[in-house]
Chains A and B, each alone.
Chain A
Amino acid sequence: MNLPLWAMVTAMLTTATPLVFGALGELVTERAGVLNLGIEGTMYAGAFVGVLVAGSSGSVWIGLLAALVTGVLAGLFVGVFTVTLGVNQHVAGIGTTLLLIASCNFASRLLYGGGSVPQVPKFSQLLPDVPVASQYLLTYLAFLIVAPAMFVLLRSTGFGLRVRAVGDNPEAADAAGISVARTRYAALGLGGMLMAAGGAFITLAMLGTFTLNITNGRGWVCIALVIFARWRVIPAVLGGLLFAAVDALQLQLVITPQFAGIPQQLMSALPYLVVIGALVVAGRSLRYPGAYLKPYRRT
């Protein structure tokens, strides 16, 4: 069996990009103590709004910007329930995901009818002829700018200190004069923006169009990656690469004669199973952020 290694690495980096965006987005909200199960819907909305606005404005950049704004709003929306009202975070997140996906599908049906969404302007690859380096700008951004920036942000900035404090011991943060609610909203907004960037990458870079069920559980994968990474930036990026590597491998195996008997869908399920396996290996005896799932209210 002869695998085209360089092509696989190239594909892997592309596949990993939305996961890196999404996982980093979830990571910052969870470090602030909020589990955002709205991630699947936020990525979905980013993917849809990106296409919608890129198509109507004719500019992929405006489409991306619109997706980012949508993500921020989705994060703040989750904040209304989890931060201000303090309802159960599982319910608020799932409800948000269902609402966002249904809304996008509703709008898609309304605008494009039952048919397929037309092609819209999309990003093109930089350095198209160089193996591995022929990637979209957003991929470079994810690995070379966003991930290091998130690392520095959480470690060495006042904002990061605040996020970690409200996620681990909100009472202490409050006593230090830090607004728990404002910090959590900020983390949710930032996280939502990154999630939506991940969704928009799928449509505006990889496909150039929108189809139903486009995120296909990638948001759930991101949540698994954050736990797998124990809420640390670098392992989360590596986890995204692991998922993408398995995905690239299965795509190769599908077209390899020895594996021709195995249905392609079963191979597609492989990365999900590998992530569950990775959780089993790395997800034991975890120390969750101290205020994980807990709303904060002053007495």
Chain B
Amino acid sequence: MRLRLVLRGREPRWLVVLLIAIAVVIVFAVTAGPIRLAGANPRAAYQRYLITPLTSFTSFTEVLLASTPLLFTGLAVAIAFRAGYWNIGGEGQFLAGATGAVATGFAFPGLPAALAIPAGLLGGVVAGMLWGVVPAWLRATWGIDEVVTTLLLNPVALLGVQALVTGPWRNSQTGFAVSDSLAPGYALPTVIPDSSVHLGFPLAVLLAALIWIVMSRTVTGLRVRAVGLSPDAAAFSGIGVRKVHFGAALISAGIAGLGGAVQVLGVTHQLTPQVSDSYGYTGIVVATLGGLSALGVLLVGLLLGNITVGAQNASLALQLPPQMGQIISSSLLLAVVGMLVFRRYRIVRAPRDTAHQGGAE
């Protein structure tokens, strides 16, 4: 007996929920082996990953903190992908944004907080856009595949950060490969007492709301969606496809850069090569799992933030290497997109012995 995929007549509403549930079960099943191999009990591990972070106020605030950079990179990727521009350079743009914020801080060390914070964030946005403009421009003028150019600029950005912190920005006190700390005016205020949750989190939520309104309620949003869904038809309808691609690419890169700036002003207060923990790449996971919608990004960003905190927790408590968090998020991505295929297709058994039916390939 072989199996094959057949187009469904109609799609029941409960199906999506069921498919995601199956995807989650698959992730549990495939990660259970490695967790056991590491000497931990899978059930206890998942308790740590999913439940423990929500059980105390402190760890819950850590979830919000951990999700903040993911919300920015997730929104950045969602906007670009929605428009059909495959920006996979969020990592580099995030690093560029962090660098831009630090550069602003070094250039104007004496600014009061009311000016320093907007200036630092703006520096990040501009730097992110600068990092994203070259691929966007190459795509718009010569049609050069942005997937490759944005990808290639990621290692370049990391090398650039390393060059800065081992060169001109090397720490003047310790001599380590990290920059000096920014002036205190550049620190984002905390928004929840007794926690390190900073202004960046509400900023991300606000941004998500704004993007959601623009995409679903405005003429611009309709045009961007049209371009992403069918560039040919959009062009035929008088929409400037290149302009939309270029605009989405710049805004996407700017948001990723903003994420980098927020991380610097809110968390690290200095430039380090580790300022991005693959946030740019994880943003692709967040955006895709969130269905490229701003609200979806918000939910998935929080979930992955939860798993990140849980992974750190499990690393300490169960000696489970924290990379398990990334294994879970990437396998969740693959399992969900794989399962969602069955929203439109169903599996049919094709018995081998009947004369007229073939097998799946």
Contact = CB atoms under 8 A, between A and B. Distances in A.
A88 interface: yes
Given A181-B361, A182-B361, A280-B144, A103 B151 contact: no
B148 A103 contact: no
Contacts of B152: 217, 220-221, 224, 272, 275-276
Interface of A: 35, 37, 80-81, 83-88, 90-92, 94-96, 98-99, 101-103, 105-107, 109-110, 179-182, 216-217, 220-221, 223-224, 227, 263-266, 268-269, 272-273, 275-276, 279-280, 283-286, 297
B202 interface: no
Contact of A81 (B147, B321, B337): B337
Contact of B284 (A35, A94, A179, A221): A94
Tell me what chain A mostly uses at the interface: helix, strand, loop, or mixed: helix
B218 interface: no
A110 B327 contact: no
Q: How large is the interface on B (under 10, 10 to 19, 20 to 34, 35 or more residues)?
A: 35 or more
Secondary structure at the B interface, as helix, strand, loop or mixed, is: helix
Contacts of B142: 280, 283-284
Interface stretch (B48-56, B119-127, B160-168, B224-232): B160-168
A81 B329 CA distance: 17
B151 A99 contact: no
B144 A283 contact: yes
Interface string B300-329: 000000000000000000000101101101
A105 B334 contact: no
A227 B333 CA distance: 27
30 contacts: A87-B338, A87-B340, A88-B337, A90-B147, A91-B288, A92-B337, A95-B285, A98-B278, A99-B331, A102-B323, A102-B327, A110-B37, A182-B361, A220-B155, A227-B145, A265-B160, A265-B162, A266-B159, A268-B159, A269-B160, A269-B163, A272-B152, A272-B153, A276-B152, A279-B148, A279-B149, A283-B142, A284-B142, A284-B143, A286-B143
A210 to B, nearest CB: 14
Contacts of B334: 81, 92, 95-96, 99
Contacts of A263: 162-164, 166-167
B175 interface: no
A37 B150 CA distance: 13
Contacts of B162: 263, 265
Nearest to A218: B155
A99 B327 contact: yes
A264 B159 CA distance: 9
Given A90-B88, A181-B361, A284 B327 contact: no
